[in-house]
Amino acid sequence: MEVQLGWNRQQIALKLDRDEIWISDHLKMLQLEPFVSPAVLTKLTVKQTKAILKAPEGLILDLVGEIEQRFNEDGYIMSSKTIQEYIEYLEAKGTTPESIEEGFSSCFIA
């Protein structure tokens, strides 16, 4: 993946004196930029980002919506483990988050 400036990960890593893996992980976070508010994006960890990006494409918007809602209500971001559990729960139910919100919330109250 090349950044819009025309630099590759290796060049960025050299300029920032960081490991290429660190650069790669943080570039992945930018994939969420169109879907996540800046306030949430700056609070996400690499592990949380990876968990979100592992979700099936059809669930990412719903998942991010749930993360945003919880952040706005409680001021916290779900842990990567909770994100993974939420994805598994949605996949097992085969339904949208709105239809199972109560069931999930009662299972994983933070």
How many whole angstroms separate alpha carbon 107 and alpha carbon 80? 16
Tell me the pLDDT tens digit for each residue of 84-104: 999 998 888 775 545 445 544
Q: Which amino acid is at 15?
A: K
How many whole angstroms separate alpha carbon 88 and alpha carbon 85? 5
Tell me the pLDDT tens digit for each residue of 63-83: 999 999 999 999 999 999 999
How many whole angstroms separate alpha carbon 99 and alpha carbon 96? 6
| pLDDT, position 91 | 86
Q: What percent of the chain has pLDDT over 90?
A: 52
Region 6-29 average pLDDT: 90
Q: Judge whether 31 and 41 are in contact, CB under 8 Å.
A: no
- More confident position, 105 or 88: 88
- Confidence band, pLDDT 50/70/90 cuts, at residue 5: low
Q: Judge whether 13 and 22 are in contact, CB under 8 Å.
A: yes
55 by Cβ neighbours in 10 Å (0-12 / 13-18 / 19+) ranks as buried
